Amino acid sequence: MDTSVDLDGRKASAAIIFRDEDGRFLGGTSASFIQSSIAFVEAYAVRLDTCVTIDVGFSKVIVESDNADVIFHIISKTLLVWVSPTIEGDILGISAPFPCFYFSAIKRACNKVTD
């Protein structure tokens, strides 16, 4: 998963790539919207990722993001004050019933979506 934000034009986009345990491409999706907060865009992308993985039927999921702050707040179940509580609540609510739903912060250089 990765995002892009044009702070001047308030345009944002999120791209999500699905890979299997061997790194093989399974599919992907993207979304574009108006927003100027990087944290909001990253949290929105995590929610999009969470929703789509459930919709396509994946049951063992690792959501990787290079935004450690957003991932930390999701894992610790604390709200980011500058992100919509609805988005974070959705992420936690949607993923809660699945025992194999893991959120991981990775270094930007390791984010394979950008490759």
Residue 37, domain CATH? 3.30.420.10
For the chain, what percent of residues have pLDDT higher than 90?
Answer: 2
Spatial neighbors of 2 by CB under 8 A, at least 6 apart, are 14, 15, 45, 66, 111, 113, 114
Considering the domain boundaries, does residue 35 fall inside one? yes
Considering the domain boundaries, does residue 94 fall inside one? yes
Asked if residue 87 lies in contact with residue 40, where contact means CB atoms within 8 angstroms, the answer is: yes
Query: What digits encode the pLDDT tens for the residues 55-85?
Result: 888 888 888 888 888 888 888 877 666 667 7
* pLDDT (tens place) for every residue of the chain, 115 residues total: 778 888 777 889 988 888 888 888 988 999 998 876 788 888 888 999 888 888 888 888 888 888 888 888 888 877 666 667 788 888 888 888 888 888 988 876 665 554 4
- The pLDDT, as a whole number, for residue 59 is 80
Helix and strand numbers (H, E) in the chain are 3, 5
Q: And the tokens for 10?
A: 């308030």
Considering the domain boundaries, does residue 104 fall inside one? yes
Considering the domain boundaries, does residue 32 fall inside one? yes
| C-alpha angle 38-41-45 in degrees, rounded to nearest 5 | 140
Query: Whole-angstrom Cα distance, residue 11 to residue 102?
Result: 29
Considering the domain boundaries, does residue 39 fall inside one? yes
Q: Which domain holds residue 20?
A: 2-108
Considering the domain boundaries, does residue 51 fall inside one? yes
| Tally of domains within the chain | 1
Q: And the tokens for 44?
A: 């929105």
- The pLDDT, as a whole number, for residue 106 is 83
